[in-house]
């Protein structure tokens, strides 16, 4: 599929927790065609470092298609011959410097000052992200979604949809995400990533836009993130305990500057993408993930989940260190109509992007 980036503007968007309004703009892409009744729409929500480029290519010669192209397209699991698929850029998208990303965040220009918002940008939640999607759908005249689906942070957004706009959603699919954010996940990778950036002297309390950005802190934040989303099996099978410089007399045994191969390969993966990243945007989206909570007005999680009446499918990798089988089983007991699909890639959380064959059949059977 050849796809085109579009954008949606909101002149005065209310950030609920801060009770503050500013203009925002988000990018989005669509795949397939909206039927006349406008009842064949599916919303795909992206993951932490993702974008709205979920499928297809902008040009034939693009090196890679969108991140879930294996699942989305004509005749595929999410069949664009039948469905109209929408994916939006989130607020404070980490890939702010990617020309194909449209987002409003701390790196955006504050129209009142003519300078970047920096840390004056409103703290927001994933509920705010979902509200931007709802306003976009309203502008399209879409009143009902066949289902909302997403991996990781996208799955959290799907649960937000079911909790706050249940009348609009027929089914919910959450891939490698459960409807709770446990304290361990608050710390790793979210708060440790925030701390890593803020401890970089180049961060300057978020006022680095006229100088060198905090690359060291951002690199460390993403190394923490990548480590949390992989496993020992993935690291051992790909790298073992090999040194980066196998033929050198200098090794990790006699030099702190020499590294194991796993360290340098993780850094290489991060550095390939860091040209598009904004450090403050990382801080804000990590904060939004930490603040994820379906409970309102002193509800327990049980009370909140019992309010979700639509069919739910959770797809969980048993090797995932962040959203676990134990959490899924706890949530299942309180959801009135819930199917949990397990697989074991042994490679951790990121299998949801690169090893979709593990769950594509189960997904296809659920979303018919």
pLDDT tens per residue across all 368 residues of the chain: 999 999 999 999 999 999 999 999 999 999 999 999 999 999 999 999 999 999 999 999 999 999 999 999 999 999 999 999 999 999 999 999 999 999 999 999 999 999 999 999 999 999 999 999 999 999 999 999 999 999 999 999 999 999 999 999 999 999 999 999 999 999 999 999 999 999 999 999 999 999 999 999 999 999 999 999 999 999 999 999 999 998 888 999 999 999 999 999 999 988 988 889 999 999 999 999 999 999 999 999 999 999 999 999 999 999 999 999 999 999 999 999 999 999 999 999 999 999 999 999 999 999 98
Contact between 197 and 285 under an 8 Å Cβ cutoff? The reply is: no
Please name the residues in contact with 183: beta carbons below 8 A apart, sequence gap of 6 or more.
none
Sign of CA dihedral 119, 90, 330, 234: negative
Q: At what angle do helices 261-273 and 215-228 cross, to 10 degrees?
A: 120
Is 1.10.1740.110 the CATH number for 186-286?
yes
Q: Is 349 a catalytic residue?
A: yes
Distance CA 102, CA 96 (A): 7
Which member of 79, 108, 235, 349 is catalytic? 349
Q: Is 152 a catalytic residue?
A: yes
Distance CA 39, CA 34 (A): 8
Furthest-apart CA pair in the chain: how many Å? 70
- Buried/exposed 46-72: b ≥16 CB within 10 Å, e otherwise: bbbbbbbbbbbbeeeeeeebbbbbbbb
- Buried/exposed 165-198: b ≥16 CB within 10 Å, e otherwise: beebbebbbbbbbbbbbeeebbebbbbbbbebbb
Distance CA 103, CA 97 (A): 10
Residues of the chain with CATH 1.10.1740.110: 186-286
Residues of the chain with CATH 3.40.50.1820: 6-181+294-366
- Is the link from the previous residue into 189 a cis peptide, with omega within 30 of 0? yes
Which member of 52, 92, 152, 235 is catalytic? 152
Q: Is 62 a catalytic residue?
A: no
DSSP-derived 3-state class of residue 332: helix
Cα distances from 173 to residues 12, 71, 83, 176, 304, in angstroms, run: 31, 14, 16, 10, 17
Distance CA 122, CA 136 (A): 20
Distance CA 92, CA 129 (A): 9
Which member of 92, 317, 320, 351 is catalytic? 320
Pairing of strands 169-175, 145-151: parallel
Is 3.10.20.30 the CATH number for 6-181+294-366?
no
DSSP state of 89: P
Query: Within the chain, how many helices (H) and strands (E) appear?
Result: 12, 12
Please indicate, yes or no, whether the overall pTM of this predicted structure exceeds 0.85. yes
Q: 85, 88, 2: which is closest to 52 by C-alpha? A: 88
């Amino acid at each position: 599929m050849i796809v085109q980036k579009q954008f949606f503007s909101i002149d005065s968007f209310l950030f609920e927790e801060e009770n503050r309004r500013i203009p925002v703009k988000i990018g989005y892409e669509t795949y397939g065609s909206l039927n006349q009744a406008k009842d064949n729409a599916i919303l795909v929500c992206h993951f932490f470092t993702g974008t709205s480029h979920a499928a297809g290519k902008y040009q034939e010669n693009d090196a890679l298609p969108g991140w879930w192209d294996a699942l989305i397209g004509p005749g595929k699991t999410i069949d664009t011959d039948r469905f109209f698929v929408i994916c939006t850029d989130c607020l404070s998208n980490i890939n702010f410097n990617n020309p194909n990303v449209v987002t409003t965040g701390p790196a955006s220009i504050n129209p009142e000052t003519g300078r970047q918002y920096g840390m004056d940008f409103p703290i927001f939640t994933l509920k705010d992200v979902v509200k931007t999607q709802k306003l976009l759908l309203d502008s399209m005249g879409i009143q009902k979604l066949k289902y909302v689906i997403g991996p990781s942070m996208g799955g959290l957004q799907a649960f937000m949809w079911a909790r706050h706009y249940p009348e609009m959603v027929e089914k919910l699919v959450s891939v490698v995400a459960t409807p709770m954010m446990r304290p361990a996940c608050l710390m790793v990778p979210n708060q440790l990533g925030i701390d890593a950036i803020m401890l970089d002297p180049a961060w300057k309390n978020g006022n680095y836009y006229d100088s060198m950005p905090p690359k060291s802190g951002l690199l460390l934040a993403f190394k923490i993130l990548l480590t949390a989303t992989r496993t020992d099996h993935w690291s051992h099978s790909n790298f073992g305990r090999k040194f980066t410089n196998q033929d050198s007399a200098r090794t990790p045994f006699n030099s702190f500057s020499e590294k194991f191969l796993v360290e340098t390969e993780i850094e290489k993966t991060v550095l390939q993408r860091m040209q598009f990243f904004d450090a403050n945007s990382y801080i804000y989206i990590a904060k939004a993930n930490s603040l994820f909570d379906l409970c309102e007005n002193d509800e327990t999680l049980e009370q909140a989940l019992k309010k979700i009446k639509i069919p739910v499918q959770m797809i969980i990798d048993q090797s995932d260190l962040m959203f676990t089988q134990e959490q899924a089983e706890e949530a299942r007991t309180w959801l009135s109509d819930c199917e949990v699909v397990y697989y074991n890639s042994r490679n951790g959380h990121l299998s949801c992007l690169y090893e979709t064959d593990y769950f594509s059949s189960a997904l296809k059977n659920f979303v018919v």
